[in-house]
Structure 1
Amino acid sequence: MWRRLIYHPEVNYALRQTLVLCLPVAIGLVLGHLQQGLLFSLVPACCNIAGLDTPHKRFFKRLFIGGSLFALSSLAVQLMLYQDVPLPIILSGMALVLGVTAEISSLHARLLPASLIAAIFTLSLAGNMPLWQPILIYVLGTLWYGAFNWFWFWMWREQPLRETLSLLYRELARYCDAKYSMLTQHTEPGTALPPLLVHQQKVVDLISQCYQQLHMLAANRQNDYKRLLRAFQIALDLQEHISVSLHQPEEVQKLVKQTHAEKVIRWTAYTVSERLQVLADDILYHRYPTRFSMDKQSEALEKIARQHPDNPVGQFFNYHFSRIARVLRTQRPLYVRDLMEDRQRRLPLFPALKSYLSFKSAALRNAARIAVMLSIASLVGNAFHLPKPYWILMTVMFVTQNGYGATRVRIFHRAGGTMAGLLIAGVALHFHFPEGFALLAMLAITLVSYLIIRKSYGWATMGFTVTAVYTLQLITLNAEQFILPRLIDTLIGCLIAFGGMVWLWPQWQTGLLRQNAHDALEADQDAIRLILSDNAEAGPLAWQRMRVNQAHNALYNSLNQAMQEPGFNTHYLADMKLWVTHSQFVVEHINAITTLAREHNMLTPQLAERYLQSCEIAIQRCQQRLEYDEPSASNDASILEPPEALPSGPLSTMEQHLQRILGHLSTMHTISSVAWRQRPHHGIWLKRRLRDDA
C-alpha cells in the first residue's frame, strides 16, 4: 500500500511541490518572519515555469542561468522604474531581449515567461522594500529550490523515467486492446482508424519523452538505469509489432467467416493488454516481473495460420503476436539497439542570436507577441489608474500558451477557477480564522491542488487563488479590498491573451499542415531508402522508424489543432483528415517492413531497386503536389514515369507491404489534388512555394 502511495506520480509530484513551497513559510513562522517566508515561497513559481525542476545532466548550470536571469530581471525593473521609464517600454524591451532563449532550445525557451513573471513579481514589491531585497529573495529562493529538488531527485533517482515508462506501457495496453477489439467492426479506414490514431499519438509522444529524458539524464552511461533502458527497448519492440498493419479487410472478413480467428485474436490481444498493465505497475512500484506465458494463444494462432496457408491474415497475426509473446516471456528486447541521442536543435548563444534577428524567426514573433500583450496590459492598467497592474500582467503570462487551442482552454480554466477561488476566499475572510488554522488550511489546499493540477487545471487554479488571497491577507491584513479588483484584472488579462493569440502573428496550424505533411513524406522516403539498401543495420533502422512515427505524429497534432481554430476551411481539413489516415497506413507498413529488413527478409538487389524507384517517384509526386501553388495536376508531367512494371502474382510479405504503400501514396496524391482546390486563400497560403514558408 505504501508503495502505491509514495511512488504514485501525482502524489510524488504534489509532495515535492508542496514541500518546496511550504518549508520556507514554516521556517519563517518559527523564526518570527512569516511575511519574508511567504515572499520567499513565490520564487518556486518562477522556477517551475522555467522548468528548473527538470532532471538534467546540466541541472546546476541551468539553475545558475535561471537564478541569474531572475535576479537581473528584478534589478532591471527596479532601476528603470526609478528612472521613470514607462512600464510598457520596460516589459516590451525585456520580452524582446529574453526571447532569444527560445532560439537556443525548447527547454531554454521556458526561461522567457519565467523571467518576465519574476519581473512582474518585483513590480509588486518595488517601493515597499530596499532594491537589494527582491534580488536576494530570487537568488536565495532559486538556491533553495535547486538544493531541495537535487535532494529529492537523489532520493528518487530513477522515478521520472519510471513514471514515463509506466505511462508508456499503459498506453500500449490500451492501444493493443482498442486495435484488436475493432478487428471486424469496421472495414472503412475513415471510421476505423481515427480512434486508433489517438492511442498511437499518445504512444509516440511518450516514446519521444523517454528519448528526451535518456538524453537529458545521460542514462546510457549510468549503470543505475540498465533495467529501465531494457524496459524502454522492450517497449520499442512492442510498439513496433502492435502498430503494424496488413490492411486487407476483405481477407480478414474471409478468415473470420471460415474460422474462429476473431475470438482467438481478441483473446490474445486481451492477454497482451493485461500483461502490459501489470508490467506498468511493476515498473512504477519497483517490483520484479512475475513469470508469464501465452503458449495457448500462440498455439491457437499457429493452428489457424497452418490450416489456411493461402490467407495472409493468419500468418500475419501469428508472426507479430509470436514476437510479442517472446518479448513478454523473456523480458528481453528482440535485439539490442544503440539508443541514439535525441537530436534536439540546440544552438550556442551567438548563432542563436543571429538566427533570432530575422523576421522569419518563430522565437522573435513569439517574443514580439508577448511584448505587445504586456504593453497593452500596462496601458489598460494606466487607464484604470493602476500604477502597478501586476495581476493583469501575471494573468497574461500564465494563460498564454504556444497554440490557439491550448490558450483558449487555459483561459477558460483560469477565469473560471479564479472567479470561484475569489468567491470562496471572500466568504472565508469574513470568518477571521486564526493565523495557525489559516496556514494549515493553505497547506492542505496547496497539496490537493498539486495533486489534481495535471488533469484539472481549473480546480487547481481555484485552490491556488484561495491561497494567494490568504497570502495577501497575511502580508497586508486587508485582502478583502483586493478581491473584486483582482477578478476584474483576471478577466482583462484573459481577454488580452486571447486577442493576442488570435490577432498578433498567429501561427495557425492550418498553414503548417502542408509543411508537416511534406516532412512526413520526407521521413517516409528516408526510411524506405534505408530499408531497401544493401547494408540496413538494426540501429539506424530503429531510429529512422521512430523518426517516421514522430513526423506523422507532428502532422496529426497539427490537424487536431487546426480543426479547433476559428474560421478554418472545413472542406480542406476534411480532405486532409483523409490524407492523414492514409499516411498512417504508410507508417504502419513501414513499421512492418522494418522488422522484416532487420531479420534479413529482403528482396533481390534488382527488385529492391525497382521498388525503391517506384516509392521515391510516388513520394515525390505527393511532395510536388503539396509544394507547387497550382490548381490542377498539370505539374505531374515533370515527374518521371515509374520504372518497368512491378511484379504481380504470388508476392513475398515484403512486396505485399511495398505495393500497399504505393497504393496509399497514389490515393494521397489524388486527395492532395482535390484538397488543394479547397485550400484557404489568405495569409501563409498566398505564398507560391512551400519552401518559402520556412
Structure 2
Amino acid sequence: MSTVSVFISENIKELLQFLRSISFSKAIRVGIAVTLPVLIGLRFGYLEIGLALSFGAFWSSPSDVIGSFRHKKFGILMSATLIMIVSFIKGYLDVELWLLLPILGLITFAIALISVYGFRASLISFSGLMAFVLSFSLESELEIYQYALLLGAGGLWYLLLSKVWYRINPKAETEEFLSETYLLTAEFIETRGKLMDPNEDHEKLQSQLLKLQSDLTTNHETLREILILSRKASGWSNYQNRRLLIFAQLIEMLETAIANPVNYDRMDALFRAHPQYVKRFQDLIFEMSAQLRLMFEAGNDSRKLPKNATMNQCFEKVRHEVALLRETEYYEEYLMLQNLLGYQEKQSEKLKRIKWLLGDHELAETDLIDRKKARRFIVPQDYDPSLYFRSFSFKSAIFRHSVRLAVTVMIGYALGSIFAFQNPYSILLIIIVIMRPSYGLTRNRAKDRMIGTLIGGAIAFGVVFLIQDPYVYAIMGIISLVIAISLVQKNYKASATFITLSVVFIYAILIPDVSSLIKFRILDTLVGAGLSYAALLWLWPTWEFTDIKDSIIKSVNANKDFLNKITAYYQLKGHIPTSYNIARKQAFLETSNLSSAFQRMTQEPKSKQRNIDKIYELVVLNHDFLASMASLSTYIKHYDTTEASERFIAATEKIEYNLERVVQCLQNKTCDGMIISPENKRFFEASKIINLTSKDKEALRGFQEAHLVWEQLEWLYSTSGQMLKLTESMELN
C-alpha cells in the first residue's frame, strides 16, 4: 500500500509541477488568444473577423519562447509582419499548378532562410511558413488586404495578452529555469560522485555527464538572457539581484563539480584498497546533491530550505578519515584527497551562500554584480541584412535545409494535387513541422508524428462514434490544443496525438464525414513524413561528420584561451577579471556544443558515422582537459598560492603549443611527424618532484599546492598530447 501511495504522490506532484510550468502557461495563453476572438465574433455576428484574429494570434505564438520580454516582443511583431506579407501574397496566387509550384518553392526558400539569424528567427520563419501553407486552406469573404491586416492585428492581440500575462507573473520563467538548474546541477554532482567508485560503469557515467553538462550549459545561456537583459523601467530589483547572484553561484558549482584529482590509477588503487573513502566522499557529495533537490522543492519558501547539520556531519567524517592517511605510506594520496576535500568545502560554501540569498537578508553593495560587465556574457545576434545573402552557399547548413525544404514542399503539393488528396496543404504542413536541418531530429519527429497521428486518429474515431455533440467537440478540441502546445517540447509523440485530436474535433463541428477526415489525416501524415525523411537522405544532406571538425576546433581554441586566462590570473592574482569568467563560460559552452554535435552524429546512419570511436575519445579527452583546468582554476581562486614560477609559465606555454598544433592539424592537416617531445616529458616529470616525506605542518599547504598544480600541468600536457595523436590519425575532411 505504501508503494502505491508513493507512486500516486509522485505522479500528483509531477502533474502539479506540469500545471505550474511555463509550457502549460503558454498553452493556456494561446488557447485564450485563439478562442476569445471566435467567441466574440460569433456573439456579435463577425465570425470572419474573429477567425482572422484567431489565426493571426496562433501563427504569431511560436516566437513566444523563453528569454527577455524585449526579445519576445520583437519576435511576435516580426512574426505578425511576416504573416501579413505572406497572406497578402497568397491572396493573389490564383494561378495554374505549373506556375504555382516554382512560386511556392521560391517563397518557402525565402522564408526558411530567415533562420540564419538564430533560434528566435527560426521560429519567426516557422510562423511565416505555417501561415503561408495554411492560407491555401482558408477562404474568407473579406478583401485580401483586410484579411492580411486582421492577421497582423491578431499578432498584436497575442502580444497584448503576453504582456498582461508577463505583468501578472514576471518571475515565472526565472523561477522555473532556476529550479531546473538546481535539479540538473544536483544530478551532475551526483553523477560525479558515482564516478569515484572504481566498480561503476565509467563509460556510461561519462556519457551521462556529457549530456548533463550540455543541458546545464543551455540552461545557463537562457538564464543569462532572462536575468541580464530583462530589466524593468524602474531599474534592477532586489529580486533580480538575488537571482543573478544565485545564478553566479550555480555556475561556480558546475566548475567545482568538474574539478578533480587527476591521477586516476593511484586514486582507484586507494579506493579499492580502502573503500571507506569512497563511501565517505560519496555520502558527502550525495548529501549536497540532495540539498539542491530540496531547494528545488522549497521554491521561494525559505522555511523549507535544508539545514546544514547533516552536511556538516558528513564533512567531519571525511576529515577524520582523510587525516588517518597522513601518517601512512599513502602520503601522496593523502594530498590528493586533501585537495578533493578542499573542493567539496568550497562547494558547500556555495550551497550555503545560495540558501542565504534565498532567505530574507539584506544585500551589501559589494554583493551586487556590475550590470555592464554582466552584459558582456551575452553574445548579441548579428542582424546585418547582408548575412542573409552571404548565406547563399551550399557550405551553409541553413541554406541546404532551405533548398531541401522548398523542393520537398513543391513535390508534396504536386502529389497532393495530382492524386486528388482531400487537403494537399496538409502534406505541406506536415513537411514544415517535421523537417529539420539535422537527420536525427527529423527522423525522430517523423516517427513520433506518425505514431501520434495513428493513436490520435483511433481515439478521435472512438469519441466521435460515441458522442455527436458539437459543443462537446468544441470543448475537447480546445482542451486538446492546449495540451498539445504544452507538450511540444517535452513529449512530441504525445503532442502529435493531441494535435490530431484537436484537428478532428474542430473539423467534426463543420464536416459530418469524420471517418474520411481521419483517414486523409493519417494518409497526409504518412506522405509528409515519408517525403521529409527521404529528402533528408537524398537532397543535399547535412551529415555531422562534415561539420564536427569545426566544433572540435572551436572547443580546443576555447580551452586554450581559458588556460591562458588561468595562467595570467595565477601571475597577477587579486580580483578575478571579467575576461577570465567570459573565457571560462566559452570553454564550457564550446565543450557542450562539441558533445551535442557528437550526440547528433550517433543518431545518423552507421555509414555516416566516420571515425566515431576516435571522435568520442577526443570528446572525452577534451572534457577531461576542461575538468583539469577547472581543478587548477578552482584551487588558484580559492587558496593563497605562491607566486607563479617561470617553470609554471613555461609548462603552460608547452601545453598551449600542443593545442595550437591540434588546431593546425585539423585546419590544414599539416601534422605529419607531430610527436610529443621526450625533453618536454622529462621537464614535467622533473618539475613534479616534491618533498613528500616531510610531515612539517607548516609545509603541508606548500606541498599540497605543488602537488596539485604539477599533477594538473602534467595531466594537461599528457591529455593535449593524446588529442594531438588522435587528430593525426583521423580523416575529417
TM, length-normalised to structure 1: 0.89
- Would the alpha carbon gap of residues 88 and 50 (structure 1) be closer, same or farther in structure 2, given more than 3 Å must change? farther
Which residue number corresponds to residue 612 of structure 1?
A: 652
Map 1:122-201; keep pairs closer than 5 Å.
122-126=135-139, 130-186=143-199, 190=203, 193-201=206-214
C-alpha distance after superposition, 1:556-609 (max 9, x if no partner): 111111111114355710121112111111011111222233346365241232
Secondary structure at the counterpart of residue 346 of structure 1 = coil
Q: Secondary structure at the match of 1:57?
A: helix
**Residue aligning to 2:407:** 372
How many Å separate the matches in 1 of 2:524 and 2:116? 32
Q: What's the offset of the Cα at 1:473?
A: 2.8
Q: What is the CA–CA distance in structure 1 between the aligned matches of 2:675 and 2:274, rounded to whole Å?
A: 47
Q: CA deviation at 1:232?
A: 0.6
5 Å matches for 1:52-451?
55-81=68-94, 86-126=99-139, 130-186=143-199, 190=203, 193-218=206-231, 222-223=236-237, 224-256=239-271, 257-258=273-274, 260-283=276-299, 289=305, 291-293=307-309, 294-309=311-326, 310=331, 311=333, 312-331=335-354, 338-344=373-379, 346-385=381-420, 389-431=424-466, 433-451=468-486
Contact 2:652-2:713 within 8 A present in 1 as well: no
Indicate the larger mover: 426-435 or 239-248: 426-435
Checking the alignment, whether the CA contact within 8 Å between 2:409 and 2:428 is kept in structure 1 is yes
User: CA, structure 1 residues 452+106, in 2 after alignment: closer, same or farther (shift >3 Å)?
Assistant: closer
Contact 1:373–1:497 (CA under 8 A) maintained in structure 2: yes
- Give the conservation status (yes or no) of the 8 Å contact 2:48–2:142: no
Q: Does 1:627 align with 2:662?
A: no
The range that moved more, 259-268 or 142-151, is 259-268
Corresponding letter in the other structure for 1:470: F
Asked whether the equivalents of residues 25 and 41 of structure 1 are also in contact (C-alpha less than 8 Å), the reply is yes
SS at match of 1:634: coil
Once the two structures are TM-superposed, the CA of residue 162 in structure 1 deviates from its matched residue by 1.4
Q: Which segment drifts farther, 148-157 or 243-252?
A: 243-252
In 1, the alpha carbon distance for the partners of 2:250 and 2:294 equals 14
Task: Select the residue among 579, 587, 601 that pairs with 1:562.
Answer: 601
Contact 1:425 1:466 in 2 (8 A): yes
1:481–1:637 CA distance, 2 compared to 1 (3 A): closer
Unaligned runs of 5+ residues in structure 1 are 680-684, 686-694
- Report deviation, 1:535: 4.0
Residues 244 and 589 in structure 1, CA contact (< 8 A), matched pair in contact too: yes
2:666 aligned partner, one-letter code: L
Out of 651, 654, 659, the position equivalent to 2:709 is: 654
- In the TM superposition, residue 134 of structure 1 has moved relative to its aligned partner by 3.4
* Distance in 1 between residues matched to 2:165 and 2:283, nearest whole Å: 43
Secondary structure at the counterpart of residue 517 of structure 2: helix
Give the direction of change, closer, same or farther, for the CA distance of 1:569–1:381 in structure 2 (3 Å limit): closer
CA contact (8 A) 1:181 1:266 kept: yes
- Provide the C-alpha distance between the structure 2 equivalents of 1:592 and 1:531, rounded to a whole number of angstroms: 11
Contact 2:559 2:587 in 1 (8 A): yes
SS of alignment partner, residue 157 of structure 1: coil
- Quote the offset at 1:659 in angstroms: 1.2
Residues 394 and 4 (structure 1 numbering): CA distance in 2 closer, same or farther, change over 3 Å? closer
Q: Could you tell me which amino acid in structure 2 is paired with residue 138 of structure 1?
A: L
Deviation at 1:29, TM superposition (A): 4.8
Cα 1:571–1:138, aligned 2, differ >3 Å: closer, same or farther?
closer
3-state SS of paired residue (1:568): helix
Post-superposition Cα deviations, 1:150-191, rounded to whole Å, max 9, x if no partner, equal: 111111102112111111110111111122133123488645
Which sections of structure 2, spanning at least 5 residues, go unmatched? 1-12, 358-365, 691-705
Please give the alpha-carbon distance, in whole angstroms, between the structure 1 residues aligned to 2:616 and 2:546: 15
Give a deviation string over 1:355-414, Cα, whole Å, max 9, x none. Answer: 234454443323222211111112212321359621001000011123111111111111
Which residue of structure 2 lines up, in the alignment, with residue 692 of structure 1?
none
Q: Decide whether the 8 Å contact of 1:190 with 1:581 is kept in 2.
A: no
Q: CA deviation at 1:127?
A: 6.7
Measured at CA, do residues 643 and 247 of structure 1 come closer, stay the same or move farther in structure 2, by a change above 3 Å? closer
1:690 paired residue number: none
Distance 1:481 1:132, change over 3 A: farther
**Distance in 2 between the 1:572 and 1:100 partners?**
31
| 1:614 Cα deviation from its structure 2 partner | 0.8
Tell me by how many angstroms 1:451 deviates. Answer: 4.6
Q: Which whole-Å deviations, capped at 9, do the CAs of 1:530-561 have from their partners, x for residues lacking one?
A: 11114463432222112111111111111111
Partner residue, 2:694:
none
- For 2:303 and 2:136, locate their aligned partners in 1 and report how far apart those are by CA, in whole Å: 50
Instruction: Please give the per-residue CA displacement for 1:197-241, whole angstroms capped at 9, x wherever unaligned.
Output: 222222222222222333542589621412211221121121111
Q: Whole-Å Cα distance in 2 between the matches of residues 304 and 618 of structure 1?
A: 39
* 1:533-612 matched pairs, under 5 angstroms: 533=568, 534-535=571-572, 537-568=576-607, 572-599=611-638, 601=641, 603-612=643-652
Q: Which amino acid aligns with 1:299?
A: E
Q: Are the equivalent residues in 2 in contact too, given 1:449–1:459 (CA < 8 A)?
A: yes
Q: 2: CA distance between counterparts of 1:171 and 1:235?
A: 10
CA contact (8 A) 1:523 1:547 kept: yes
Q: Is the 8 A contact 1:211 1:341 kept in 2?
A: no
Change (3 A) 1:7 1:544: same
CA distance in 2, matches of 1:435, 1:188: 57
Letter in 2 for 1:604: A
CA change 1:85–1:259 in 2 (3 A) is: closer
Matched to 2:630, the amino acid is: N
Quote how far apart the aligned CAs of 1:452 are.
3.8
Where 2:489 maps in the other structure, the secondary structure is coil
Residue 688 of structure 2: SS of its match in structure 1? coil
Tell me the distance in 1 between the aligned counterparts of 2:113 and 2:378.
20
CA distance in 2, matches of 1:483, 1:508: 36
Q: For structure 1, which segment, 74-83 or 503-512, has the greater mean C-alpha deviation from structure 2 after superposition?
A: 74-83
Contact kept? 1:52, 1:63, Cα under 8 Å: no
Rate the CA distance shift 1:404–1:216 in 2: closer, same or farther, 3 A: farther
Q: Percent identity?
A: 16
Map of 1:645 onto structure 2: 683
Structure 1 range deviating more: 171-180 or 638-647: 638-647
Does the 8 Å contact 1:626/1:672 carry over to 2?
yes
- What is the CA–CA distance in structure 1 between the aligned matches of 2:106 and 2:516, rounded to whole Å? 32
* Distance in 1 between residues matched to 2:175 and 2:345, nearest whole Å: 27
After superposition, the Cα gap between the structure-2 partners of 1:85 and 1:469, relative to the gap in structure 1 and judged at 3 Å, is same
Give the aligned residue type for 1:314: L
Answer whether contact 1:165 1:283 (CA < 8 A) is retained.
no
Offset of residue 146 of structure 1: 0.9
Amino acid at match of 1:655: W
2:128 is paired with a residue whose SS is helix
Structure 1 residues 196 and 64: alpha-carbon distance in aligned structure 2, compared to 1, 3 A threshold: closer
| 1:146–1:602 CA distance, 2 compared to 1 (3 A) | farther
Q: 1:387 to 1:341 in 2, by over 3 A?
A: farther
| Cα distance change of structure 1 residues 186 and 611 upon mapping to structure 2, 3 Å threshold | farther
Indicate the SS of the match to 2:468: coil
Residue 130 of structure 1 and its aligned partner are, at CA, apart by: 3.6
2:523 corresponding residue in structure 1: 488
Deviates more, 1:198-207 or 1:355-364: 355-364
Cα contact 2:625–2:716 (8 A) shared by 1: yes
Q: Cα gap change, 1:217/1:462 in structure 2, threshold over 3 Å: closer, same or farther?
A: same
Equivalent pair of 2:75/2:124 in contact (CA under 8 Å): no
Cα 1:388–1:437 shift into 2, 3 Å: closer
Cα distance, 1:247 vs. partner?
2.8
